[in-house]
Chains A and B, each alone.
Chain A
Amino acid sequence: MSLEDDIHQLVLAMDGVATVYAADPVWLSALKQLGSLVDPGSGATPVPFVVCSEADDGGTQERGPGPSGAGSLGEASLPDAASAGGRSVMTVKIRIGTDGSLPAPAMARSVAGAIRTLVTARQPEVQVRALVEISAIGV
């Protein structure tokens, strides 16, 4: 299983989470332009749920002579990561629906925390930036 799949399963299993929605298409198209998907096109999942990238999505990190839109996602497996104080930063994006059993703001924070714990256990050298969007609030 890919890192994305593991994060997807982890979050789905959390108390208070009702749904993990498909990744926002905007996230994907932005990353395709940057050529910086960590696990591009693993093929198995037609609908990506979690998007991991090793570049800041603030728009200032467009690196080098990137293959912008050149359809070369497959070659992007060794991203020269964005760095913060010498450590690379992995951005993990996910959007969820809550089931109402826990307050939505607290859910966003605990999902971010769980993602950080999982990624750090796998890749202690990276810093994790979690982008969690609550797309639906249950009652």
Chain B
Amino acid sequence: MNPTHDCGRRIEALSDYLDSGTSPDAEHIDYCPQCQAQLAGLRSLSAAALLMMDDDVASATADDTGWLDGIMANLRLESRAGRTIPLRGGELDELSETEGAVIALVRTVGDSLGGVLIGRCQLEGDVSVPGEPVEVKINVSARYGHPLPELAQTLRDAVFAELLVETELNVTAVHVAFTDIRPPVIGNGSGESGKGRS
């Protein structure tokens, strides 16, 4: 009933496709939802990484990028189709969303807020049964200097609102955990570079 029908393409191959714009496998990649999700993730990651490099170029050391590796690792995991989430429909019909689509949505909402990068994101609960309570767990990497409680509340509200419109899940909670605090932008006068990492 809930097969994980994943295409098994490697993220490295997609990264090459992103860089070069061509691939012998393009016919698959262009029409595969998992590959497209991974490409979208790679694109927003490289945009974020570029921003970070601009910001942090003066202070960057090798371990400053550890958080980025973690996010990369999650991307592969979360681009899976995942579980099948049923939607209401006609008697004969079988309508559904994939868990992967919902997680990608949460990620997009978070990334669009600015100041945060979404790390791991999970749906906890039996999403395959309509009405079952579902909790959303989001790990977030934030930039030092952003007020965290405010950021968490904004993210929670945005995710709740979007899931209410785009799914039929019974979302009972959105948990936001800050797993990384990235260093402040050099030159903003905080003088606290490096604090709070890892």
Contacts and interface: CB of A to CB of B under 8 A. Distances in A.
- Describe B's contact surface by its main secondary structure: mixed
Nearest to B95: A108
Given A21-B31, A26-B3, A105-B88, A136 B93 contact: no
B31 A132 contact: no
B33 A95 contact: yes
Contacts of A139: 105, 108-109, 112, 162
Contacts of B93: 112, 129-132
B55 interface: no
Contacts of B27: 46-47
Contacts of A133: 84, 95-98
Interface residues of A, number: 33
A135 B81 contact: yes
B90 A134 contact: no
Given A26-B5, A97-B33, A104-B166, A137 B101 contact: yes
Contact of A104 (B28, B108, B167): B167
B89 A21 contact: no
Given A22-B31, A46-B27, A109-B87, A127 B3 contact: no
A135 B37 CA distance: 9
B87 A108 contact: yes
Interface residues of B, number: 36
- Describe A's contact surface by its main secondary structure: mixed
Nearest to B91: A129
B104 to A, nearest CB: 7
A101 B32 CA distance: 22
Contacts of B162: 139
Given A135-B81, A136-B36, 18 more contacts: A21-B31, A21-B33, A26-B5, A47-B28, A104-B87, A104-B97, A105-B87, A109-B88, A112-B90, A113-B90, A128-B92, A129-B93, A132-B89, A133-B95, A134-B97, A136-B33, A136-B37, A136-B101
6 contacts: A21-B31, A21-B36, A47-B28, A97-B36, A130-B94, A136-B36
Interface of A: 19-22, 24-26, 46-47, 49, 89, 95, 97, 103-105, 108-109, 112-113, 116, 127-137, 139
